[in-house]
Chain A
Amino acid sequence: MMSLAARSGAFSPYMQASAFAVAGPLKALVPGVVLKGEKILLDPKKQFLCRESLNGQSPKTGPAVSVSINGCAGVRLAHTDVRIPDFSDYRREDVLNPDKSSHESGESRRSFSYLVTGASVVVGVYAAKTVVSQFVSSMSASADVLALSKIEIKLGDIPEGKNMTFKWRGKPLFVRHRTEKEISTEAAVNIAELRDPQHDKDRVLNPSWVIVLGVCTHLGCVPIANAGDYGGYYCPCHGSHYDASGRIRKGPAPLNLEVPFYEFPDDDTVVVG
Chain B
Amino acid sequence: MKGIRGISKLSRRFYAAARTGQSLTQPLAGLKLSPGSAHFYQDVHVTRLPSGLVIASLENYSPASKIGVFVKAGSRYETSENQGVTHLLRLASSLTTKGASAFKICRGVEAVGGNLSVTSSRENMIYTVDCLRDDIDTVMEYLINITTAQEFRPWEVSDLTPRVKMDKAQAAQSPQIAVIEALHQAAYKNALCNSLYCPDHMVDNVQSEHLHQFVQNNFTSARMALVGLGIDHAVLKQVGEQFLNIRSGGGATGAGAQYRGGEIRLAGLSSLVHSAVVSQSAAAGTSEALAFSVLQQVLGAGPHVKRGSNTSSQLIQGVAKATTDPFDVSAFNASYSDSGLFGVYTISQAAAAGDVIAAALAQVKAVADGGVTAADLTRAKAQLKGQFLMSLETSGGLLEAMGTQALTEGSYSSPEEVIKKIDNVSLTDIANAAGNFVSGKKTMASSGNLIKTPFVDEI
Residues of A within 8 A of B (CB): 2, 4, 6-16, 18-22, 29-30, 33, 35, 40, 42, 45, 48-71, 74-75
Nearest CB in chain B: distance from A180 CB, A: 105
Question: Which of A8, A10, A49, A54 has a CB less than 8 Å from the CB of B296?
Answer: A10
Contact in complex: A9, B345 (CB < 8 Å)? no
Contact in complex: B401, A59 (CB < 8 Å)? no
The answer, yes or no, to whether B326 is at the interface (CB within 8 Å) is yes
Contact in complex: A68, B116 (CB < 8 Å)? yes
B residues 320-365 touching A (CB-CB < 8 Å): 326-336, 340-341, 345-347
Contact in complex: B404, A69 (CB < 8 Å)? no
Known: A6-B387, A29-B176, A58-B328. 15 other contacts (CB 8 A): A4-B177, A8-B391, A12-B397, A14-B121, A30-B173, A57-B347, A58-B329, A59-B332, A59-B345, A60-B296, A60-B331, A61-B334, A65-B120, A67-B90, A70-B116
Question: Which of A15, A16, A55 has a CB less than 8 Å from the CB of B328?
Answer: A55
Known: A58-B345, A63-B121. A13 touches B289 (CB 8 A): yes
Residues of A within 8 A of B132 (CB): none
Known: A14-B124, A57-B328, A59-B176. A65 touches B196 (CB 8 A): yes
Question: Which of A13, A35, A56 has a CB less than 8 Å from the CB of B334?
Answer: A13
Q: Which 4 A-B pairs have the closest CB atoms?
A: A66-B119, A9-B388, A68-B117, A9-B391
The answer, yes or no, to whether B199 is at the interface (CB within 8 Å) is no
Contact in complex: B303, A67 (CB < 8 Å)? no
Question: Which of A50, A60, A69 has a CB less than 8 Å from the CB of B105?
Answer: A69
The answer, yes or no, to whether B123 is at the interface (CB within 8 Å) is yes
Contact in complex: A10, B293 (CB < 8 Å)? yes
Residues of A within 8 A of B396 (CB): 7
The answer, yes or no, to whether B83 is at the interface (CB within 8 Å) is no
Flag B178-217 by CB within 8 Å of A: 1 or 0 each: 0010001000000000001100000000000000000000
Residue of A nearest to B118 (CB): A67
Flag B151-172 by CB within 8 Å of A: 1 or 0 each: 0000000000000011101110
Alpha-carbon distance A125/B327, docked complex (angstroms) = 86
Residues of B within 8 A of A75 (CB): 166
28 contacts between A and B (CB under 8 A): A6-B387, A7-B391, A10-B301, A13-B289, A14-B284, A18-B177, A42-B173, A51-B326, A51-B327, A54-B327, A55-B307, A56-B302, A57-B347, A58-B345, A61-B333, A62-B334, A64-B119, A64-B121, A65-B119, A65-B120, A65-B121, A65-B196, A66-B90, A67-B90, A67-B91, A69-B110, A70-B109, A71-B115
Number of B residues, CB within 8 Å of A: 76
Contact in complex: B93, A67 (CB < 8 Å)? yes
Contact in complex: B119, A12 (CB < 8 Å)? no
Contact in complex: A65, B90 (CB < 8 Å)? yes
Contact in complex: A14, B404 (CB < 8 Å)? yes
Residues of A within 8 A of B65 (CB): none
Residues of B within 8 A of A42 (CB): 169-170, 173
Known: A18-B177, A70-B109, A70-B116. A11 touches B327 (CB 8 A): no
The answer, yes or no, to whether B377 is at the interface (CB within 8 Å) is no
Residues of B within 8 A of A15 (CB): 119, 121, 124, 126, 400, 404
The answer, yes or no, to whether B390 is at the interface (CB within 8 Å) is yes
Question: Which of B91, B196, B297, B326 has a CB less than 8 Å from the CB of A64?
Answer: B196
Residue of A nearest to B192 (CB): A62
Residue of B nearest to A58 (CB): B330
Residues of A within 8 A of B297 (CB): 10
Contact in complex: B177, A66 (CB < 8 Å)? no
Residue of B nearest to A50 (CB): B326
Flag B7-41 by CB within 8 Å of A: 1 or 0 each: 00000000000000000000000000000000000
Alpha-carbon distance A193/B197, docked complex (angstroms) = 124
The answer, yes or no, to whether B94 is at the interface (CB within 8 Å) is yes
Residues of A within 8 A of B119 (CB): 15, 19, 64-67
The answer, yes or no, to whether B310 is at the interface (CB within 8 Å) is yes
Residues of A within 8 A of B335 (CB): 13
B residues 73-107 touching A (CB-CB < 8 Å): 74, 90-91, 93-94, 105-106
Contact in complex: B388, A11 (CB < 8 Å)? yes
Residues of B within 8 A of A33 (CB): 166, 169-170, 173
Question: Which of A12, A49, A59, A64 has a CB less than 8 Å from the CB of B330?
Answer: A59
Residues of A within 8 A of B173 (CB): 2, 30, 33, 42, 45
Residues of B within 8 A of A70 (CB): 109-110, 115-116
Nearest CB in chain B: distance from A57 CB, A: 5
Contact in complex: A12, B400 (CB < 8 Å)? yes
Alpha-carbon distance A80/B327, docked complex (angstroms) = 39
Nearest CB in chain B: distance from A109 CB, A: 46
Contact in complex: A60, B332 (CB < 8 Å)? yes
Contact in complex: B174, A29 (CB < 8 Å)? yes
Residue of A nearest to B177 (CB): A63
Alpha-carbon distance A57/B293, docked complex (angstroms) = 19
Known: A9-B391, A58-B345. A21 touches B117 (CB 8 A): yes
Residues of B within 8 A of A14 (CB): 74, 121-124, 284, 336, 400, 404
Alpha-carbon distance A63/B87, docked complex (angstroms) = 13
Nearest CB in chain A: distance from B382 CB, A: 12
Residues of B within 8 A of A60 (CB): 296, 301-302, 330-333, 345
